[in-house]
Amino acid sequence: MPHIWVEYSSNLEAGVDVPALLKTVQDAFIGDGTIFPFAGARTRAVPVNTYLIVDGHPDNAFVHVLLRIAKGRSEADRQEAGRRTFDAVKAFLAPVTASRPLGISVQMEEADEALNFKTSNYRDYLQRRGATEKVVA
């Protein structure tokens, strides 16, 4: 953890660099890695092809970021990370906001500890690679 979903209306694909948006979101949320571990981050884009936004005008668009985390972080840490992520998304999408109707939202959820089953060997591979910094493909 954390798991990050970036849902967006598919009418943004022509004007938004989605991989760069994912990197912006992940970098902002993870920050320096002291609260949320980089090795646990799984960030994905989810284009939404069928949607109805307010009056249905074809220019209307949205980006919704869902941040799912394990329990155990203080409310202050969650607030700070959420605000940092929201501000980064707004800044990244400012050119889009200036040219069309756009809704931006960021939501954070805590996973249920009793129903959260997971395993990963990402840290092992990061260590083998000698990665001390974030590596982006």
Task: Indicate which CATH number applies to the domain containing 107.
Answer: 3.30.429.10
Q: Which residue, 102, 116, 93, is CA-closest to 28?
A: 93
Is the confidence at residue 137, as pLDDT, over 50? no
- How many domains are contained in the chain? 1
Q: Is residue 119 part of a domain?
A: yes
pLDDT of residue 135: 44
E strand residue ranges, the chain: 3-9, 42-48, 61-69, 102-110
CA 123 to each of CA 7, 12, 28, 111, 131: distance values in angstroms, whole numbers, following the listed order: 27, 34, 20, 21, 10
pTM for this predicted structure: 0.84
pLDDT of residue 98: 97
**9-44 tens-digit pLDDT:** 999 999 999 999 999 999 999 998 888 888 888 999
Q: Is residue 137 part of a domain?
A: no
Residue with more model confidence, 71 or 1: 71
Helix ranges restricted to H, 50-134:
75-92, 94-97, 122-129
**47-84 tens-digit pLDDT:** 999 999 999 999 999 999 999 998 999 999 999 999 99
pLDDT of residue 122: 74
Residues serving a catalytic function are 2
Q: Is residue 71 part of a domain?
A: yes
